[in-house]
Amino acid sequence: MKTTKIYMAMIAIAMVPFTMTSCGDPWYYDDPYYHDHYGPGYDDYGPGYNDNRYDEPYYDNNADMLAEAQCLRGHWQGTMVDEFTNDKGQRQQVQYDADIEFDQYNSNSLSGRGREIDVAGSESQELVFTWFVDAQTGNIHIKYDGGSIVVIDANSKDLGFYLDDNQFYGYMVGQNIDDVIYFDLARYTYAKESDFSAVAKAKANPQTVTSTKAIAGVQADRQTIDLTNIPVGLPKRK
């Protein structure tokens, strides 16, 4: 029997049902962990905008981190839910289909460029970004060409992620924007099948219920949220 090798921050399934609301403060917004962990000094690079790891090949001898970067490389598609503060000062959510490509600068780099195509009904947008995997933490840092920065946290107990050769889901948390983005993606092309050397421990615990939207390549234990009452629309993130 083929053994699936699991990488990075597998999200433990919570048994309590959860529905994301379209207005008012979200469940995480007043959580001290959210503000303390993602404050301006969350790592040695401050807010991270001028971090040169985004813009050139970034190397480290950590084989596990290289395996993570190599696993990211390729094309993913699925659903994203973006929660942000709208022009009226209220928290708002939109859902949309996404097609995301990660590419390394070279096969040994922990960094690279990428492209995200968002589709909501007849509307679409293309966002280009740079990214890197932090060799010390395993966090995935993404900086969009429009200036928005998000982090996918490998060590978060609440807003973590899961990644293997077939599926990638969890949360992106804004660093210079207040967006929190849930994503649920399945790979549809391989750049190169990854070679994992370790099994990651689960540290995240998102609230989940069954989705009404099927996603290609979904597995029985894939994390999903209820999309029924979330309007379709494009995010403001640039």
Can you give the pLDDT at residue 237? 83
What are the structure tokens assigned to 162, written together?
Answer: 């899961």
Average pLDDT in the chain:
74
Asked if 176 and 148 count as a contact pair (C-beta separation under 8 A), the reply is yes
pLDDT tens, 12-26? 333 333 333 333 333
What pLDDT is attached to residue 209? 29
Instruction: Tell me how far apart the terminal alpha carbons of the chain are, to the nearest angstrom.
Output: 44
Residue 128 to residue 158: CA distance in whole angstroms? 27
pTM metric for this prediction = 0.70
pLDDT in tens, 51-62: 889 999 999 999
Alpha-carbon distance of 141 to 173, in angstroms, equals 10
Backbone angles phi, psi at 108, to 5 degrees: -110, 5
